[in-house]
A and B are shown apart, each in its own frame.
Chain A
Amino acid sequence: MNVDQCVHCGLCLTACPTYEATGLEMESPRGRLVLLNNWAANANFQSRDAAQWLDDCLDCRACESACPSNIPTGHLVEEWRSTVPLGTANRRLLLGLSQAVGSPRGLKRLQRLIRIGQNPLGRWALSKLGSLLSIATGDVLDGLPPSILPGLSRESLTTNMPNADTMMFVGCIMDAVYNQSNEHTAALLRLAGHTVTVPSNQVCCGALHRHGGDPATTRRLAKANIKAYEATGAQQVVVNAAGCGTTLKEYPTLFESGSEWHFRAISFSRAVRDVIQTLAERPLAQLTQQSTTITVHDACHHTAQNLNQSTRALLERAGFSIREMPNSTRCCGSAGVYNLTHPSMGRTLAQQKVSDIPPETQIVAAANPGCILQIQAGTRHYGRNTVTVRHPIDLAYDAYRAAGYLGGVADAT
């Protein structure tokens, strides 16, 4: 599949969040394909501006579902990223972050930094660190949950349980920042009758490295995860972050077709399931309807995995009423760490997303850590302070616990 296959019909334009935000043809999928074509054909077109317009791509893949000719624009931009030097300020930041998430030790350091950032004094200190980084991270820090438990979730969850049917993938940001959500995921999986193992030698999925143009590191991480999975003997790998899910499912594309690793990656990717998918295949009990109305933001990578209906089904079984927001599938601008590398576009998209939250709704469900952080920060900056953004698994967990399924009510009395 190549750039040249685009028939220039334009049907992808309005699906693209960056075109919607800027109105510029160069910030549309069709325009990016022209930029890519010219980039490859003519050195005169390899300018900073062109690089910026290409790099503004969120890799949200909304264009890919809209394109009648199946042109994988998001993927093509990603491929382009891996061919250009990591020269710009944006990309250096990305590099630093991806180093942090690459190992449990790095993750712990990141967690410590974030927890410092949560108290005002620490925040002031951070803001002295550097220009772009601090503005952007300042924005995002506003989206953090009110309290983060110290320690990584893998430490509390780790079981190398033999004969478990399910390996749980704990991720990086989920592991460090949304560690409670990981615990809730394990609890719901068990409630659905699965036996869960959490091997401690699993690593970050490598999405950040891949989007940042460093597929070699992604390949190394992929091999580690595949090995960890193979050692468990589990039938499925369950993941609760939409973005990690697509990366794990795409592991085969990292390896040369026909090679041994390609083969192993295929078996691995077939075993990968989003927790929403697992809970749709073996549904939890139907709870009585509560009065709480929530709205759902569909993470790009959830849409790409066709999970939007199942997410609603899970929440409805847990007793929530859903009031749909317009453009629920439009990217919130988080896109991995896009909000850090492209603060201004990230803000525009966050503002759009917040204005789409129905006025009477106080809870937004979003199944990706980046989206949760981004939209939560957005609600604080754009006048919806009272709204909380939560992972659908956390919402479901609370509901089942309140209904006594997870020992919640019994505990309380």
Chain B
Amino acid sequence: MQPKWMTSIEEIVGQRHVLTQPEALATYAQDGYTLSREVPLAVILPGSTSEVQAVMKVLSRHGVPVVARGAGTSLSGGAIPVAGSVVLHFSRMRQIHHIDWENRLVEVDPGVVNQDISRAVASEGFFYAPDPSSQRVCTIGGNFAENSGGPHCLKYGVTVNHIVMADIVLANGNLRRLGNSTADPDGPDWLGLLIGSEGTLGIATRLWLRITQRPIDSTTVLALFDHIDEASYAVSEIIAAGIIPAAMEMMDGLTISAVERGAYPVGYPTDLAAVLLIELDGEPGLTEHETQETLHRLALRQVRQVVKAQNATETNLWWANRKTAFGAMGLISPRYYVQDGVIPRHVLPDALKTIRTISQDYGIRIANVFHAGDGNLHPLLLYDNHDKSEVERVKQAGSDILDYCISRGGSITGEHGIGLEKISEMASQFNRQELAAQRAIKDAFDPTQLLNPGKLLPMPGRCIDYAN
């Protein structure tokens, strides 16, 4: 028999927008993180803010936990349901409501796809700056929850720098408008607190985003290396020279071998140790100067070859190749587990050496692709999901990499979030008081623990264990 709350929800959103068939629910058991899965009780597809409010009122009355879902590309299990929860899938709420050219703001639904915003404003020479590699599918709601970054965030900043206002439905179904579209908000920055909270404090149902004028001039450079350390040193030296590229990305040999077999091969030599993809943009004169300076810095290192893109087609291909690097892992391994640790830029060579050692110690292959400019590593740990021992070794190796990041004064996540995946590392990153403060915020927003439970924050009992 169907529980009463489900009938109430069917009345709110319409029966065909509530999924309960086991075959359907099975497709919602995972997101981009494949080391865990759980089937929800139901999937609800709301059509408006007021429907979300009404749904939350029913769920909170009956104590049913909720996990919001955009495109399900989270790499930390953020959108994976917990047992006994329902999924709120935002695929029906995907309208761009208004473009305010004068104030450079766009008002959107949470289910709008990141790239569609840049497309919608391209005609007037604008773009939406945060560009996760998953941008052609991931949603603004997911970006909001994960405070997502992307290659171009080195210069333009991450999601929190580009959302100015949001409508938030709280756990009890109440609606709050946070932030301010015209000026800095008065009082504490509530919106800033909500961005990056992984759907644990409130659900975004409408967002106002800042759009950015496209730079007049832009140059893209590829530098091919025979030694990965040389590429790492080049990164530090370019930044030390006072240049802030729009993007600076690195891929190692194993990653290159995968993307070259994928949908967008660039034609990299097969024996490369690393490639740096650097984009410089801004005013014409300045970009030219920075490009010369960058080329000069690269030439001081042992670089095999440096190539400048000749046209947009070439630039687009280089980026498409880079942006499909995670997905292309399927071509060289049954599964991958991506880490997201951050380290200070200058320890990059040491970090790569450590990852190499961990790879050897555990006997697993690790491919490296990362936002080199801001020290955000993405080691991709390759494994076979049918090999139980390998799955365990991969988890352990991932944990070792994060411990290393913390020991060097870095962080366990740059942009993919804590989710389910890194919850146990939270206690290594934060001390007891810091965790208690975060827990207090959570309790204030969501006293009955309905919003994305089991994510981001370790459970109170466990956090003490970890802290000890």
A47 to B20 CA separation, bound complex (whole angstroms): 13
Distance in angstroms between the alpha carbons of A31 and B330 in the assembled complex: 17
Q: Is there contact, CB below 8 Å, between B72 and A25?
A: yes
- Given A9-B32, A24-B91, answer yes or no on A68-B330 (Cβ-Cβ < 8 Å): yes
The CA of A67 and the CA of B330, in the complex, are separated in Å by 10
Chain B residue, CB-CB nearest to A44 = B22
| One of B24, B43, B89, B330 near A7 (C-beta < 8 A) | B330
Knowing A7-B336, A11-B136 touch, does A68 contact B327 (C-beta < 8 A)? yes
B335 within 8 A of A: yes
Closest Cβ–Cβ distance, residue A326 to chain B (whole Å): 8
B262 and A31 form a contact (CB under 8 A)? no
Let me know if A70 and B331 touch, CB within 8 A: yes
* Contact count band on B: 35 or more
* CB-CB under 8 A for A10 and B73, given A67-B327, A68-B262, A70-B263: yes
Count of chain A residues near B, Cβ 8 A: 35
Is residue A186 within 8 Å, beta carbon to beta carbon, of the partner chain? no
Question: Residue A35 contacts which of B23, B30, B113, B261 (CB distance < 8 angstroms)?
Answer: B23
Interface on chain A toward B: helix, strand, loop, or mixed SS?
A: helix
Bound form: Cα–Cα A59–B173 in Å: 42
Chain B proximity of A359: nearest CB distance (Å):
15
> Which of B31, B32, B259, B336 has the most CB atoms of chain A within a 10 A radius of its CB?
B32
Please encode chain B, from 175 to 193, with 1 for each CB lying within 8 Å of some chain A CB and 0 for all others.
Answer: 0000000000000000000
Is the C-beta of B328 less than 8 angstroms from some C-beta in chain A?
yes
Inter-subunit contact A23/B91 (CB<8 Å): yes
- Asked if B296 lies at the interface with its beta carbon under 8 angstroms from chain A, I say no
**CB-contacts of B267-290 with A (<8 A):** none
A257 within 8 A of B: no
Q: Is the CB of B28 within 8 A of A7?
A: no
Q: For window 76-128 of chain B, which residues contact chain A by CB distance below 8 Å?
A: 89, 91-92, 94, 111, 113
Q: How far apart are A257's CB and chain B's nearest CB, in angstroms?
A: 22
A288 at the B interface (CB under 8 A): no
In whole angstroms, what is the CA distance A389 to B192 when docked? 51
When each residue 415-432 of chain B gets 1 if its CB lies under 8 Å from chain A and 0 otherwise, what string results?
000000000000000000
Which chain B residues border A34 with CB–CB below 8 Å?
26-27, 29
Specify the chain B residue showing the minimal Cβ separation from A23: B91
CB distance from A311 to the nearest CB of B (A): 18
On chain B, the residues within 8 Å of A66 by CB distance are: 136, 263
A9–B24 touching, CB < 8 Å: no
Asked whether A47 and B137 contact (CB < 8 A) given A9-B326, A23-B92, A70-B263, the answer is: no
CA distance A377 to B384 in the complex (A): 49
> How distant is A36 from chain B, measured CB to nearest CB, in Å?
11
CB pair B31–A11 under 8 Å, yes or no, is no
A38 to chain B, nearest CB (A): 6
In the complex the two chains form, what is the Cα distance from A65 to B263 in whole Å? 7
- Min C-beta distance of A213 to chain B, whole Å: 20
A334 to chain B minimum Cβ distance, whole angstroms, is 24
A8-B32, A8-B34 known; A45 vs B22 contact (CB < 8 Å): yes
Extra contacts besides A23-B91, A68-B331 (13): CB < 8 Å? A5-B330, A10-B72, A11-B137, A11-B327, A14-B136, A24-B45, A28-B27, A31-B27, A68-B263, A68-B325, A68-B326, A69-B329, A70-B262
Chain A residues within CB distance 8 Å of chain B: 4-14, 19, 23-26, 28, 30-31, 34-35, 38, 44-45, 47, 49-50, 53, 65-71
A-B contact pairs, 10 of them (CB 8 A): A8-B34, A10-B31, A10-B137, A24-B19, A25-B89, A26-B27, A45-B23, A49-B24, A69-B262, A70-B263
